[in-house]
Amino acid sequence: MPDTHLVTGGAGFVGSHLVLALVARGDRVVVLDDLSTGHAAAVPASTELISGRIGDADALAHAFALGPFASVFHFAALSLVGESMREPYRYMAENARNGLALIEATIAHGVKRLVLSSTAALFGAPSTIPIPEEEPVDPGSPYGESKAWLERALVWAERVHGLRSAALRYFNAAGADPGGRLGEDHRPETHLIPLVLDAASGRRPPLTVFGDDYPTPDGTCIRDYIHVADLAEAHLLALEALNERSVRYNLGNGTGYSVRQVIATAERVTGRAVPHTIGPRRAGDPPVLVASSRRIREELGWTPRYPALETIIADAWAWRQAHPEGYR
């Protein structure tokens, strides 16, 4: 029998791909999203979309009234590292307050499973690369701090109320639905790969590379890029694991690419030059963030289907070429 799930932020980039995966397997989904960064057009027609904030008690009550839910997936959050360095208390207060309100409502309505969209920003200056789950949590930004708070809140939600949870620490979500149905459309756009592709197509001014004096082989930051469809699959596997226990996983491909390597790969994929300039470092950016996803591979059998950077960029490029105005 199909399950019913509540997905906050389900009109956003990663959330919409998870919704698509749930619908594809026959489940019913209710999306709660204020559409400040998400897009109604990214939500399947068969899915009920409630336009509202999880911090709004009425919107939250409306969403839970459409249950009962087998699980809750929580994506909705302020999520820009740079902005969080300029507005730290807004990030910590809003993400924590809204997340706690959702956790409380989840418990009050008898839902026993919650999957949290967490982040690699938990690890500000990791001592081990690739980063294992055992790495001490030491956020390098208020955004990362706000997610660390929610992970701790979920530990207590289980101890006190029996709510099992999965905290999935994403590294850099990228790419697009291989079938061309969904893609990445942030406004403003802050993610590297779409910015690189838009610079290549002439839709944006030259890309600014934030710093070329990091302690890395070419001086630019190194990140682990993971295909958004592989992320969605990891969510489904984590959900099943919650039938037995709570889990915490780092999610990446285990391979890091520098900003310069991303630019070079995009030039090969698109056949176009990527104009760019070098700017100052951006506050809160660690030199290297690469995940060890050994634990989720061994425990749940997760294997990325689209690990190659060329594939990730090619899928993102195909969607942007087909949808030059995004979801508009």
Give the span between the Cα atoms of 236 and 289, in whole angstroms: 24
pLDDT in tens, 74-89: 999 999 888 999 999 9
Mean pLDDT of 8-25: 98
**Side-chain-facing half-sphere of 265: CA atoms under 13 Å:** 20
Q: Of the listed 89, 91, 143, 249, which one is catalytic?
A: 143
Give the span between the Cα atoms of 32 and 98, in whole angstroms: 13
Give the span between the Cα atoms of 211 and 152, in whole angstroms: 33
Give the span between the Cα atoms of 178 and 306, in whole angstroms: 9
Mean pLDDT of 152-175: 97
Confidence of residue 154 (pLDDT cuts 50, 70, 90): very high
Q: Do residues 135 and 261 both lie within one domain?
A: no
Give the span between the Cα atoms of 206 and 198, in whole angstroms: 9
Q: Do residues 36 and 88 both lie within one domain?
A: yes
CATH code of the domain containing 297: 3.90.25.10
pLDDT at 183: 97
Residue 143 is among the residues annotated as catalytic for this protein: yes
Q: Do residues 208 and 118 both lie within one domain?
A: no
Give the span between the Cα atoms of 53 and 97, in whole angstroms: 12
Give the span between the Cα atoms of 240 and 302, in whole angstroms: 12
Q: Which domain holds residue 92?
A: 4-174+225-251
Q: Is the pLDDT of residue 198 over 80?
A: yes
Q: What SS3 state is found at 236? A: helix
Least Cα distance to 80 among 193, 220, 190, 210 occurs for 190
Residue 266 structure tokens: 């995009």
